[in-house]
């Protein structure tokens, strides 16, 4: 097999693996996975919003996941580390999955779009663009694009500060595609900045930054899991389904364009 075919095969296997992880640990708020090969095995870094769901009771979840990665995907001696995402609302993949879940529950697509944009902007994003396409209203396919804030679309800044992800969801009307692009302020490097302002900004970040705690959970056998937890979010939902249910109730307060038009008649 040529080198080109090997690269294609590896990329295809990585795509299948990430699709599997997206479905398997969906309730843990899966964002993305970083996979790297080492002399001792394969290191898999999972970025999720709730590490406890991935690990499971007494390490049962992580042990089952390790066996699956080794048998079904051929990873040699997988070493899994679980990292908690500091700001889930600024992760395009997490927000794509949440919006897809809302559409699966029967929420109107514009209401779900407006709620998602509101959550992203309130979390401190510089700008956001949500594109939704597919069978939105009838038999014909259509698409809508919603933008808020400042979002660079080309050039160096667009490559550096803009993250994006795509998700697909099956509804009663048909298949719907969701694409979310988020511009993050923290990635923007200013050309000029006063020394005093820089020091004040640094002190403010140190005060507001959540405390990270690294733990190592030993599971039966040779499996070791490294968990990076972010302290300070004790009141958050225990799972993604619980988070989506809470958001669905709050989402009812948002007025869509259709409701505004109906009130004017």
pLDDT class for 218, splitting at 50, 70, 90? Answer: very low
Dist CA 240 CA 26 (whole Å): 8
Q: Tell how strand 162-170 and strand 142-149 pair up.
A: unpaired
Angle at which helix 240-251 crosses helix 92-104, to 10 degrees, equals 70
* Each residue's pLDDT tens digit, 156-211: 778 888 899 998 888 888 889 999 999 988 776 665 454 555 566 666 655 555 55
Q: Are 35 and 43 in contact (CB under 8 A)?
A: yes
Dist CA 237 CA 244 (whole Å): 9
Q: What is the mean pLDDT of residues 137-166?
A: 86
Predicted confidence (pLDDT) at residue 73 exceeds the cutoff of 60: yes
- Least Cα distance to 158 among 126, 113, 118, 130 occurs for 126
For residue 56 the two structure tokens come to: 């499971």
Of 66-75, 96-105, 219-228, which range is least confident?
219-228
Domain 88-190 CATH superfamily: Ribosomal protein S3, C-terminal domain (3.30.1140.32)
- Least Cα distance to 158 among 119, 187, 121, 191 occurs for 187
pLDDT class for 262, splitting at 50, 70, 90? Answer: low
Helix, strand, or coil here: 2? coil
Quote the distance between the C-alpha of residue 180 and its chain's center.
10
Domain boundaries in the chain? Answer: 3-86+213-241, 88-190
pTM for the model stands at 0.72
> What's the full length of the chain, in residues?
265
Q: Are 15 and 229 in contact (CB under 8 A)?
A: no
For residue 3 the two structure tokens come to: 């080198």
- pLDDT value at position 16? 85
Q: What is the mean pLDDT of residues 15-31?
A: 83
Domain 3-86+213-241 CATH superfamily: K homology (KH) domain (3.30.300.20)
Q: What is the mean pLDDT of residues 89-106?
A: 89
- pLDDT value at position 234? 44
pLDDT class for 36, splitting at 50, 70, 90? Answer: confident
Predicted confidence (pLDDT) at residue 61 exceeds the cutoff of 90: no
User: Helix, strand, coil proportions of the chain in percent (round to 5)?
Assistant: 45, 30, 30
Q: Are 209 and 201 in contact (CB under 8 A)?
A: no
Predicted confidence (pLDDT) at residue 220 exceeds the cutoff of 50: no
Dist CA 85 CA 46 (whole Å): 10
Q: Tell how strand 41-48 and strand 78-84 pair up.
A: parallel
**How many Cβ atoms are within 10 Å of 49's Cβ, its own excluded?**
27
Q: What is the mean pLDDT of residues 74-90?
A: 85
* Each residue's pLDDT tens digit, 103-114: 988 888 889 999
Dist CA 202 CA 25 (whole Å): 35
- pLDDT value at position 179? 95
Q: Where are the beta strands (DSSP E) in 41-86?
A: 41-48, 78-84
């Amino acid at each position: 097999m040529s080198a080109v075919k090997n690269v294609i095969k590896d990329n295809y296997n990585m795509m299948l693996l990430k699709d599997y992880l997206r479905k398997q640990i969906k309730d843990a708020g899966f964002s993305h996975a970083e996979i790297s090969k080492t002399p001792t095995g394969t290191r898999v870094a999972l970025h999720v919003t709730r590490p406890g769901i991935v690990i499971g009771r007494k390490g049962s979840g992580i042990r089952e996941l390790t066996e699956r990665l080794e048998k079904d995907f051929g990873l040699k001696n997988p070493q899994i580390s679980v990292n908690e995402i500091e700001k889930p609302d600024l992760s395009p993949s997490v927000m794509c999955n949440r919006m897809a879940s809302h559409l699966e529950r029967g929420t109107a697509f514009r209401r779900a779009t407006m709620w998602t944009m509101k959550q992203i902007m309130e979390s401190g994003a510089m700008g956001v663009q949500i594109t939704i396409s597919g069978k939105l209203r009838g038999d014909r396919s259509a698409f809508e694009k919603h933008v808020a804030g400042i979002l660079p679309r080309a050039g160096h800044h667009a490559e550096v500060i803009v993250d994006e992800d795509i998700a697909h969801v099956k509804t009663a009307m048909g298949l719907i595609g969701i694409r979310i692009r988020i511009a993050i302020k923290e990635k923007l490097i200013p050309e000029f900045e006063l020394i005093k302002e820089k020091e004040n900004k640094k002190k403010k970040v140190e005060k507001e930054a959540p405390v990270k705690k690294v733990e190592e959970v030993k599971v039966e056998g040779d499996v070791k899991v490294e968990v990076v937890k972010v302290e300070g979010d004790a009141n958050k939902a225990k799972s993604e389904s619980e988070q989506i249910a809470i958001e669905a109730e709050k989402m009812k307060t948002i007025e869509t364009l259709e409701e505004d038009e109906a009130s004017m008649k």
